[in-house]
Structure 1
Amino acid sequence: MQDFGQLDAQGDPEFMTSLARGLAVLRCFADQSRPMTIAQASRLTGLSRPAVKRCLHTLVRLGYAVQDGTLYGLRPKVLALGFAYLSSSTLAMRAQPLLDEVRDELHESCSLGVIEEDEVYYVARAEVSRIMSIALRVGSRLPLYCTSMGRVLLAGLDRPAQQAYLRRTDLAPLTGSTVTEPSVLLQILRDVAEEGYAIIDQELEQGLRSIAVPVIVDGRVIAAVNIGTQADRVSLPDLRTRYLPALRRVARDLAAMRPTG
């Protein structure tokens, strides 16, 4: 959670604390995906209850939230905020038809992600209709250290930036296979940079495998493309022989378009 008091204390005269608080309250709904009370939003954001109450009151008055007794939820109007990014993002718009092609070719979900606030943000996704225990969509966020797209994005950073990320991140074991030792992760990132792809085998969630490649423009990793699948259906060799070429094709096509944003 953000420490808004500390941000104020940094002496930035242009920083709007009230706006930051409102955005923090909005974001906590995305994290929880359900209506919340003032107390719950206060706990998630680290803001006082009176501050959260004023933010929610304002959001309700503006039509971005709705109140039902003690519970607050979001209204469809908030979709305009996310759509503003998607409609202005050259990268996401150009990637979508390419992701759709891979989904139709391999019958697997395919996604595009970027690094933001030490997480992978999903900015485009082509999904298949298949029951999986992890639900992902545009706007979803996942850890960098234990996801295929996250490791590709981390591998594009220099070593001091990688080390700084590992120091400030809670490297929690999400399954029995999750790699959490910083020295091992640094070696993995070195291998990913050399090989040009990353594979995750049930480190994020039991039964889930994924493979990702970087989108590189002017020598810089600007995004990652991945395919996620079920371990009982797709072997590790299949990820390399069948899925890796398709992902590299998407990354190559995106780089040739010189996407930005």
Structure 2
Amino acid sequence: MSADIAETPDSDRDGNAGDPNFMTSLARGLSVIRAFTERSPNLTIADIAKITGLPRAAARRCLLTLMQLGYVGTDGRTFFLKPKILALGYSFLSSAPLATILDPLIEQVSGTLQESSSAAVLDEDEVVYIARAATKRIMSVGLNVGSRLPAYCTSMGRVLLAHLPETELDAYFARVELKAFTERTITNPDVLRREFERVRERGFALVDQELELGLRSVAVPVRTASGSVVAAINASTQAARVTCPEMEARFLPPLHRAAEEARVLLVRTPVA
């Protein structure tokens, strides 16, 4: 293991140089996998190197290793993920009680509202979807389990950020670039902090066309018995069909019911 770390002088970029328990080659392989997205499903070695910051030779070795294991394929010029990669995500979903609990609940929300509903957790600076029930595609980019979005301009992200300890929130603002996705996107840290206060006071977050024009979403926290926020669930719709006041009046009751049912179930199945 120590030899693997010594193999690459650029391991400093991971912030773990000198840690005898850190396997650089594994970290590199995971960064290569994460480089593939819906918008970039086919990538060259040069693309991978640019996205990950790895040397071309290291990117090539990672890709060839993933090919031999059946996780990556190639057309001779570009590389792409193969279906076997889904087994990695399934391992999480099949072993995570939170995802198992929330999946049927958001199906109920979606069925009641006839709108898309999702559940997400905070992972570093983004929300990652752990359950989703979609009735129709309402965004230009399709969302599925495993999809990631910026936390500050999404309803579930705001719910989760609003309940972070103050020191963690300060660190978040210190490192995150607040990019405007639409003319409605809030990018002022002070204004966002006031939004988070409103979220805590009201018990929900409503985001109106800040991530994408035409998209409205409302989210509520999922709490454990002790009151800790471990996830968020939402319902989203097209702005042309449903007003913000209507979302509060019609969407919040089933979301709150689902969140309360999740809290009861989490008492029986504690989440680490």
TM-score range for the pair, normalised by the shorter chain length:
over 0.9
Shift of 1:84: 0.3
Shift of 1:130: 4.2
Aligned pair partner of 1:40 in 47, 69, 79? 47
Aligned residue pairs total 259
Report the equivalent of 2:204: 197
Report the equivalent of 2:34: 27
Instruction: Tell me, yes or no, if the aligned pair for 1:162 and 1:186 is still in contact at 8 Å.
Output: no
In 2, Cα distance between equivalents of 1:128 and 1:248: 20
Aligned pair partner of 1:96 in 91, 103, 113? 103
Aligned pair partner of 2:159 in 125, 134, 152? 152
Aligned pair partner of 1:224 in 232, 236, 245? 232
TM-score of the two chains, using structure 1 as the length reference: 0.95
Go from structure 1 to structure 2 and tell me whether the alpha carbon gap of 1:32 and 1:25 turns closer, same or farther (over 3 Å shift).
farther
SS at match of 2:177: coil
Shift of 1:159: 2.0
SS at match of 1:41: helix
In 2, Cα distance between equivalents of 1:69 and 1:113: 37
In 1, Cα distance between equivalents of 2:178 and 2:145: 24
Matches within 5 A, 1:213-252: 213-217=220-224, 218-252=226-260
In 2, Cα distance between equivalents of 1:184 and 1:131: 27
Shift of 1:33: 4.1
Shift of 1:134: 3.4
Matches within 5 A, 1:114-153: 114-153=121-160
Deviates more, 1:7-16 or 1:231-240: 7-16
TM-score of the two chains, using structure 2 as the length reference: 0.92
Shift of 1:219: 1.7
Go from structure 1 to structure 2 and tell me whether the alpha carbon gap of 1:131 and 1:147 turns closer, same or farther (over 3 Å shift).
closer
Residue type matched to 1:164 in 2? Answer: A
In 1, Cα distance between equivalents of 2:164 and 2:63: 38
Aligned pair partner of 1:166 in 135, 152, 173? 173
Structure 1 residue runs without a partner (length 5+): none
Go from structure 1 to structure 2 and tell me whether the alpha carbon gap of 1:223 and 1:159 turns closer, same or farther (over 3 Å shift).
same
In 1, Cα distance between equivalents of 2:34 and 2:164: 27
Instruction: Tell me, yes or no, if the aligned pair for 1:177 and 1:203 is still in contact at 8 Å.
Output: yes
CA RMSD of aligned residues (A): 1.4
SS at match of 1:30: coil
1:117-161 CA distance string (max 9 Å, x none) = 111000000110345423211000011111100000001112222
Residue type matched to 2:53 in 1? Answer: G
Structure 2 residue runs without a partner (length 5+): 1-9
In 2, Cα distance between equivalents of 1:69 and 1:15: 33
Go from structure 1 to structure 2 and tell me whether the alpha carbon gap of 1:40 and 1:82 turns closer, same or farther (over 3 Å shift).
same
Go from structure 1 to structure 2 and tell me whether the alpha carbon gap of 1:215 and 1:143 turns closer, same or farther (over 3 Å shift).
same
SS at match of 2:36: helix
The percent identity for this pair of structures is 50
Aligned pair partner of 1:64 in 51, 58, 71? 71
